Amino acid sequence: MSNKIVINGGRKLSGQIKASGAKNAVLPILTATLLAEGNSHIQNVPHLHDVTTMNELLAHMGAELTVGAHSDIFINTNHLHNHTAPYDIVRTMRASILALGPLLARYGQAKVSLPGGCQIGARPVDLHLKGLKAMGADIDVSDGYIHAHCQRLQGARIIMDKVTVTGTENILMAACLARGESLIENAAIEPEVVDLGRYLIAMGAHIEGLGSSKIRIQGVDKLRGVAHHVLPDRIEIGSFLVAAAMTGGNITITHTQPDDLDAVLLKLTEAGAEIRTTEDQIYLDMHEKRPQPVDIRTAPHPAFPTDMQAQFCALNAIADGTSVITETLFENRFMHVDELNRMGANIAVEGNQAIITGVEKLSGAPVTATDLRASASLVIAGLAAQGQTEVHDIHYIDRGYEAIEEKLNQLGARIIRQ
């Protein structure tokens, strides 16, 4: 498979594209189908490598999947023959840990490989396990696997030590089929958690407080398969907006939920972009200006998302002045910096901060992607750079961006995969 993207940069992006469904919503929603009796129909499913991996994981357990013709999947999990998420699948996609809560809640047993560390940081799952133990699960970690058993889970009050997105999702899914009431405090309020919660409610779950840090769940005996339309991908949308801003361009993105991007849109405005929104569209015009530098501190929603940090490093790299980006969630999420510097950027990393002195222009260069958002930042930098950029190990980008070359070419970019 081709593993390199070649970009001829320096062209202003302009035009209209449609946002895809969100990776970080569709993955938990696919695991939530493990809770459902009958057929589930998931719509607005993006064509992503992670979705294929999740489908493989569900099929490995015995789920019956039919991929529809309109970005949709029909799933029936009534006849699982095993409850294992093997290492080979989990190591390529951490979201596989989301199978744990649903398997325990519906089948009383799960064997899920420990996700382990990945490039952006250690990413432990201790809080997932602590929450499930509080609900009565018997959990043993050995041979690299989480072995979990329970009779029926019991509702519990769980105060999360840290705000964790997939931790909240795992416990939320488990609590839906537990006996009695659960309360998750210091819960994550990311839009993707809310989308999962809405799906669970449609399935028959009793949940209050979605989108707040206190989620109350009354367990029910059964959940049924239903249809659900996955929410738009705010990180994909944000990435395209940054690309347009860096090239001085103007674009419209349709099928969005603009409110989910408040922190990102504010930073783009601070960088000098004109932003207009309607109920479901976002319009950005940079009026061919060079970006102003913007300081950023990543934090849980509604603050600035860590998944947009690398893209704003690229934007600040060509800004008219100096900026500081502080990464508070993941300890090793500046791997794009060395590669951006190969393109002429002037970025120094000190601890969890990147100090960025804007340069007038980046120049095309061969660079290597190290993770999903690092690869997005390099592609975006390549679009704004003078000359040709080759981004190697580009396969990471397919984890989270549907048809990225097609969408960028539609906006006037010159980008091909080789």
Ligand X SMILES: CC(=O)N[C@H]1[C@@H](OP(=O)(O)OP(=O)(O)OC[C@H]2O[C@@H](n3ccc(=O)[nH]c3=O)[C@H](O)[C@@H]2O)O[C@H](CO)[C@@H](O)[C@@H]1O
Ligand Y SMILES: C=C(OP(=O)(O)O)C(=O)O
Binding site for ligand Y (CB under 6 A): 24, 94-95, 120, 307, 372-373, 400
Q: How far apart are CA 88 and CA 231, in angstroms?
A: 29
3-state secondary structure at position 95:
helix
Q: Which is nearer to ligand X, 313 or 329 (CB)?
A: 329
Q: Is 127 annotated as a binding residue?
A: yes
Residue 87's closest CA among 111, 108, 122? 111
Q: Is 289 in the site for ligand X (CB under 6 A)?
A: no
Q: Is 307 in the site for ligand X (CB under 6 A)?
A: yes
Q: Is 125 annotated as a binding residue?
A: yes
**C-alpha triplet 240, 401, 213: angle, nearest 5°:** 85
Q: What minimum distance in Å lies between the beta carbon of 83 and ligand Y? A: 22
H/E run at residue 247: none
Contact partners, residue 282, CB within 8 Å, separation at least 6 = 237, 241, 252, 253, 256, 258, 261, 265, 275, 276
Q: Which is nearer to ligand X, 111 or 373 (CB)?
A: 373
Nearest-10 Cα torsion for 242, 247, 248, 251: -60
Torsion-angle region of residue 272: left (phi > 0), alpha (psi -120 to 50) or beta? left
Q: Is 166 in the site for ligand X (CB under 6 A)?
A: yes
Of residues 238 through 267, those in contact with ligand X by CB under 6 A are: none
Q: Which is nearer to ligand X, 10 or 191 (CB)?
A: 191
Choice from 29, 127, 175, 286 touching ligand X (CB under 6 A): 127
Q: Is 293 annotated as a binding residue?
A: no
Choice from 178, 318, 329, 411 touching ligand X (CB under 6 A): 329
- What residue 164 binds from ligand X, ligand Y, none (CB within 5 to 8 A, per partner kind)? ligand X
Burial of 181 (0-12, 13-18, 19+ CB in 10 A): middle
- What residue 126 binds from ligand X, ligand Y, none (CB within 5 to 8 A, per partner kind)? ligand X
- What residue 400 binds from ligand Y, ligand X, none (CB within 5 to 8 A, per partner kind)? ligand Y
- What residue 102 binds from ligand X, ligand Y, none (CB within 5 to 8 A, per partner kind)? none
Q: How far apart are CA 265 and CA 275, in angstroms?
A: 7
User: 313 catalytic, yes or no?
Assistant: no
Q: Is 11 annotated as a binding residue?
A: no
User: For 202, phi and psi rounded to 5 degrees?
Assistant: -60, -30
Residues that bind ligand X (CB under 6 A): 24, 27, 94-95, 121, 123-128, 162, 164-167, 192, 305-307, 329-330
| Residues assigned a catalytic role | 118
Show binding-site residues for phosphoenolpyruvate.
23-24
